Amino acid sequence: METTSNEPVGSDSLRVVTGIAWSRAIQDFYHPPLPEPEIEHNHDASSFFYIDSDSWTVHLNTAGVPIHMMVSDAEEYLTSVCHHEIQHYLLCPFDGVMNGRMFVAARKHVNDATAMFVCNLYADLVVDSNLLRRFPSLTHKRINSSIHDSAVRVHDHSDLWKLIVTCYRVMWGFPIPSTVRISQDIFEAASEIITAARSSIDDEHRWPKACEKIAKIIDEWTPEEQEGLPGSASGGSKSVTQENIDGSKKTINIPLDVDAIMGNPIEARNGDRVEKC
């Protein structure tokens, strides 16, 4: 199917563009031994973009491409998304053992869902710090587009989303949408999180301790939160079933704005590895 760079992307065109983006990203990382990605267009999926930590299959849901994006921009955006997911395989968490160590460290201070959020937030900070050095233009455009798109998709923002975008502001200088107001306690928590991240981001031996520090910061930020994700009250959410390390299952509400900017924040840890760590 032919597409032109100045037309909005439809779901059929997106599948073609995603295949091109994947090929480009794999080449950029010298063809790591990853299986072919799963490409779909499903607005009801629990996450738009993620890598399965059991099979290391990258899942690319084209419904997550920012609204009204043109073909050429979509190809660049998806290439950067693929870079990001490949780096979760190559860099952080790299394997289930490190993922488990990070989770167990965070779990000392927060519940299972929040511990997984901490691990995913920290892994994103590690991965995107690396990508901003290696592919600065593509990565900057992708993060900026994700912030803007998540702000447009949801108007009544959760405090958890505000915490994430403030972390991006403090860490890398990305602008916070002009319609969003950040409270002092959110800014202070984000600043503390980034201080913990910056001091450890290039030393994998310090990643679990960094996750423990970040979990403690989040626990102190919302001490009244006992179940589920902190700061989740918003204009909309989706329900996701989480399996805990004891085998029990719990339904967790994921704010739609958080899902739009970072995917399902409690997704896919290797439970067997976590129990052994």
- Strands laid side by side in the 38-40 sheet: 38-40, 58-61, 49-51
Q: Enumerate the domain spans of the chain.
A: 1-90, 95-277
Instruction: Please tell me which of 62-71, 200-209, 257-266 the model is most confident about, judged by mean pLDDT.
Output: 200-209
| Helix 207-221 / helix 184-198 crossing angle, nearest 10 deg | 170
Percent of the chain with pLDDT over 70: 91
250: β partners: 242
80, 142 in Cβ contact below 8 A?
yes
| pLDDT at position 86 over 70 | yes
- Residue 73 to residue 75: CA distance in whole angstroms: 5
Q: Write down the pTM of the prediction.
A: 0.91
Written in H, E and C, the secondary structure of 172-220 is: HCCCCCCCCCCCHHHHHHHHHHHHHHHCCCCCHHHHHHHHHHHHHHHHH
230, 255 in Cβ contact below 8 A?
no
Q: Which two tokens stand for residue 276?
A: 């052994």
DSSP run (H or E) holding 18:
helix 11-28
pLDDT digits (tens, 9 = 90+) for 117-140: 999 999 999 999 999 999 999 999
| pLDDT at position 2 over 60 | no
- Residue 77 to residue 66: CA distance in whole angstroms: 9
| pLDDT at position 273 over 70 | no
Looking at residue 75, its amino acid is E
* Average pLDDT, rounded, for the chain: 89
* Torsion sign over Cα 81, 87, 93, 96: positive
| pLDDT at position 160 over 90 | yes
At 227, phi and psi to the nearest 5?
A: -130, 155
If you search the block for the tokens 């129990």, which residue do you land on? 275
Q: Residue 8 has what DSSP assignment?
A: B
- Residue 196 to residue 204: CA distance in whole angstroms: 13
pLDDT digits (tens, 9 = 90+) for 202-243: 999 999 999 999 999 999 998 776 678 998 877 678 888 777
Average pLDDT for residues 64-75, to the nearest whole number?
91
Q: Residue 206 has what DSSP assignment?
A: G
Closest CA to 186 of 153, 210, 220: 220
* pLDDT value for 202: 95
Domain 1-90 CATH class label:
alpha beta
Query: Is residue 163 left, alpha or beta, with left meaning phi > 0 and alpha meaning psi from -120 to 50?
Result: alpha
Looking at residue 243, its amino acid is E
